[in-house]
Structure 1
């Protein structure tokens, strides 16, 4: 605000000087005609160029006064005007002072000296303008490169401008528009606080490693629109800015997928550690018991050891598959043939667990929008229904149909003991992931992640015989043949 006042003062001074000089020129022309009897045409022609210059000075002053961001222009204009006027006036007075001691007055010498001063001032101004033009070309080139980079960054990015204490969204890139289902015109120019909540909990960090992580990452926020919400971090340049800068630009980059991937890998590691600890405890306990028994009495303990070892092998294989799916950058959804996915999932589980009874009811022409992990998630739900059931012949029914909301509902029903409320709360996010101690399965996590990536949802339903897990994902049209 103080700089705006300075620009107005400079503009008023410039316009005032121009108006004063123009008044003098007009007065001189009128005096020449009315008092001295000079020709009106000659007086007007004499006043034409000075008057035009003085009117330009008035216009320049008005422009500076009304300009909203011209404090730097006003400074240079005033300095240049003062330097030019002082130089010409000083030379004119210098010549006039010494000519009074000479024979006669020689205005031609004064004119040539003033012309020399004007040429020096013009040359210096030309040097400055050439340098300014060169810097503008460089600035424009950098701006164009930044714009091209900003527009083509694959991650959602947006910029915020801070001025006079107000922070407004300045621009967003196409990836931002696609991820949050919003147009730039809907958010540009509006206060950041309308969409975002900044976090002061120390979450301002990039999940990925960068050489400038400590210097550039400043804070994080959650940006919400009608199309959803995403997590961003603000990147600040480590370069020292001018203390009187009026306009700061902050760039925010999307880290939602990175944080989600880190969170999922953390869950995967913790569940694997829990399973390893349990199975190794069984192996260790049975191995100790073998030492105190005869060979004829070791059959049951060896069976326990074999089962625990097989479970560890199965766990490692499943963990490898899930880790590959979680760590993959391929989260693009595409039409998936639900009937084929269900049939393949049930057949794969049947091979490993032939003692269970399986029933499938699925429309063969049904397609769903999902990632490459959708089939793995369905298989995990079917296997969960079998392995967490103590019955001699567990019964599993898998159906796929459209629900009332137009989503494809893959339902897996079992006749087991059910899923406890604490596990359901962990999977759906109602309980913090720090409380993973009692959850030893990866299947439900995989199903939840597959549903989330497809903009779907995972839910649980108690039924008369057991539990039904619903994996709902958006319906998709069949791909073009």
Structure 2
């Protein structure tokens, strides 16, 4: 195939090639070599989305171009299904010219008698739709549920305080403490909602920054504000990533959560910056506190649906997730060797 020949023209399908070349979905034609998809041709939308010119992509392994290293097993499973002649539909994350984005993937093998030879991969960008839908649902669920509950606590305990004003001191103390906790939670929820609004409506363009000074500033702030906490770092001299000034908001929220939700008198926190797979850096915020509930993690990562009773206990992790996604990055969770959580912010490198 000539390097300027669009998909579909190799066999004389000029009309179909013209259609594929001008649709908005990214389309790749590939051959399967030992079960591995090798690019035969791409359309204009693929070039614009993933940043590879047709001539540069042709002959390369598709997974090497656009599948993040940590998602290769998933991609291999999809390739096996294509090789077996199956038409496959699945939501996937792929590495674009602007970082990670979510797509509806459709793997379409050639006709049955050629299914093991290759086929087509079609990527429909879902990022904007999925993010907007989930943001609206989370803000609706969390704000309605949490604001209502905290307001009810304040009202009911205020009534108790008034009724028991002349009662025992212990009862008054408990009621006052409950009101203070609820008021503090409401204030924090309002601040997080405000930060989310600022992040999502910011005009600031993603650029290249050194994330190490940002991490140091966040850590030093929390060392001053929480002197009982032991906050360690493991940082390189510098690490360039694609982000904006909002990165400090996300990291501040994670370190604050690691301290705030740890009942220990001396919470342990460790912040590490690690160069990962080619083109990626991960900031680890680790602690020795109680594990983040699985339901909360799964809702935030998208592994579980948002429901009236399952939407997360607050907006802190959503703030981090949506901030990182504006950089083309990803939020994920694991266990730390400190005994608690390892919350990971994966960022693209320039």
Partner of 2:302: 429
Residue 388 of structure 1: how far off its partner (Å): 1.7
Q: Name the structure 2 match of 1:269.
A: 140
TM-score, normalising length: structure 2: 0.62
Residue 146 of structure 1 is matched in structure 2 by none
Structure 1 stretch displaced more, 379-388 or 308-317:
308-317
d(CA) in 1 for partners of 2:186, 2:180: 10
1:312 matched to which residue of 2? Answer: 186
Count of residues in correspondence between the two structures: 259
Q: In the alignment, which residue of structure 2 is the partner of 1:181?
A: 51
Q: Given the alignment of the two structures, is residue 279 of structure 1 paired with residue 130 of structure 2, yes or no?
A: no
Once the two structures are superposed, the pairs formed by residues 407-446 of structure 1 within 5 Å of their partners are 407-434=280-307, 437=310, 439-446=312-319
- CA deviation after TM superposition for structure 1 residue 450, in Å: 3.3
Contact 1:230–1:254 (8 Å) recurs in 2 = yes
Work out whether residues 192 and 319 of structure 2, in 8 Å CA contact, stay in contact via their aligned partners in 1: no
Distance 1:334 1:435, change over 3 A: farther
Unaligned runs of 5+ in 1: 1-162, 188-221, 233-252, 477-481
- Judged with a 3 Å threshold, the aligned counterparts in structure 2 of structure 1 residues 184 and 399 are, in CA distance, closer, same or farther, namely closer
SS in 2 for 1:168: helix
1:360-395 CA deviation, whole Å, 9 max, x = no partner?
Answer: 232232222124432211111111111221222322
In structure 2, relative to structure 1, the CA distance for the partners of 1:397 and 1:440 (3 Å cut) is: same
Q: If each structure's helix is expressed as a fraction of its own residues, which one has the higher value?
A: 1
Q: SS of the counterpart of 2:272?
A: strand
Is it true that 1:459 corresponds to 2:332 in the alignment?
yes
Instruction: Within 5 Å, give how 1:98-113 maps onto structure 2.
Output: none
RMSD (Å), alpha carbons: 3.7
Residue 171 of structure 1 pairs with residue 44 of structure 2: no
Contact kept? 1:368, 1:473, Cα under 8 Å: yes
Q: Is the 8 A contact 1:385 1:413 kept in 2?
A: yes
**Contact 2:264-2:289 at 8 Å conserved across structures:** yes
Q: What's the CA shift for 1:186? A: 10
Residue in 2 that maps onto 1:447: 320
Higher-strand-fraction structure: 2
How far residue 414 of structure 1 moved from its aligned partner, in angstroms, is 0.9
- Which residue of 209, 226, 240 corresponds with 1:367? 240
CA–CA distance in structure 1, aligned partners of residues 92 and 297 of structure 2: 28
Aligned counterparts of 1:434 and 1:186: Cα–Cα separation in 2: 45
Corresponding position of 1:402 = 275
Q: Which residue of 1 aligns with 2:263?
A: 390
Query: Any unmatched runs of 5+ in structure 2?
Result: 1-13, 25-43, 58-90, 105-123
Partner of 2:84: none
Q: Quote the offset at 1:333 in angstroms.
A: 2.5
Alignment partner, residue 357 of structure 1 = 230
Determine if contact 2:189/2:314 at 8 Å carries over to the other structure: no
Equivalent runs, 1:25-424 vs 2, <5 Å: 168-171=19-22, 177-181=47-51, 183=53, 227=96, 256-257=127-128, 260-295=131-166, 297=169, 298-330=172-204, 332-350=205-223, 352-405=225-278, 407-424=280-297
Check 1:354–1:225 CA distance in 2 against 1; reply closer, same or farther (3 A cut): closer
List structure 1 runs of 4+ shifted beyond 6 angstroms. 163-167, 172-176, 184-187, 222-226, 228-232
Q: Is the 8 A contact 2:142 2:311 kept in 1?
A: no
Distance 1:263 1:226, change over 3 A: closer
Classify 1:347/1:333 alpha carbon distance in 2 versus 1 (closer, same or farther; 3 Å): same
Higher relative contact order (CA 8 A, sep 6+): 2
TM-score w.r.t. structure 1 length?
Answer: 0.46
